[in-house]
Amino acid sequence: MNVSGFDLVFYGAASFSMVTTAVAITRSNPVYGLLNFVLSLLGMAVVFYTLGAPFAAALEVIVYAGAIMVLFLFVVMMLKLDRTTVAREASWITSAIWIVPILLGAMLGGELVDVLLQKTGPGSAHQVISPQAVGLRLFTTDLGAVELASMLLLAGLIGAYHLGRPSSEGD
């Protein structure tokens, strides 16, 4: 297997994403965890670009890192987490709590390795899929799915509005 420069970019971004994600779920301060996850999403955007999906890479930065995670960060800052909360959070992260999750994760990982080692079908198509191709397909043949997605967003909007209303009990 000959390794080109683009492959090195892929492997670099992939290992960056894995490391920052692992750091993100082990922090005791939620803000540090979220910032590490945003870094991981930026690494994922590079992975998408090297996989020939430039539109997905742009959406990952603009929508995922830029809108969703920033909303998350604002809410965490509204929660007014103080030092005692972070210290209690740190006391919950012991090495014992990771044992059972790691066992379950290893079982799932073993099955996935088994799937990945099967050699079936031809290799990859290896072509860049342009945003134009995505948009053409999205707004012609998949138009019904777009309408369903907009219904989902409307349901989310109404649900968030209803739950976010100050209630008459005053809580």
Segment 101 to 130, residues that bind another protein, using CB under 8 A: 101-102, 104-105, 108-109, 112, 116, 123-129
Q: What 8-state DSSP symbol labels residue 97?
A: G
39 binds another protein (CB under 8 A): no
Distance from C-alpha of 72 to C-alpha of 140, rounded to nearest angstrom: 33
Under 8 Å between Cβ of 40 and 55: no
For residue 167, give the DSSP letter. Answer: P
CA 161 to chain centre: 25
73: amino acid identity, one letter: L
Number of H helices, E strands in the chain: 8, 0
Structure token pair of residue 21: 């994600």
Q: For the CB of residue 126, give the shortest distance to another protein in the complex, in Å.
A: 6
Instruction: For 10-22, give the secondary structure using H, E and C.
Output: HHHHHHHHHHHHH
Q: Which of 82, 114, 140, 163 binds another protein (CB under 8 A)?
A: 163
**Among the listed residues 32, 35, 55, 61, the single contact to another protein using CB under 8 A:** 55
Residue 17 near another protein by CB under 8 A: yes
- Token pair in block for residue 53: 């999906």
Residues 71-90 that bind another protein (CB under 8 A): 71-72, 75-76, 78-79, 85, 89
Q: Counting contacts by CB under 8 A, is residue 46 touching another protein? A: no
Q: How far is the CB of 108 from another protein (least distance, A)?
A: 6
Min separation Cβ 92 and another protein, Å: 5
Least gap, CB of 74 to another protein (angstroms): 9
**Cα end-to-end distance, the chain, whole Å:** 62
Q: Does 32 bind another protein (CB under 8 A)?
A: no
Q: How far is the CB of 150 from another protein (least distance, A)?
A: 9
Is 33 a binding residue for another protein by CB under 8 A? The answer is: yes
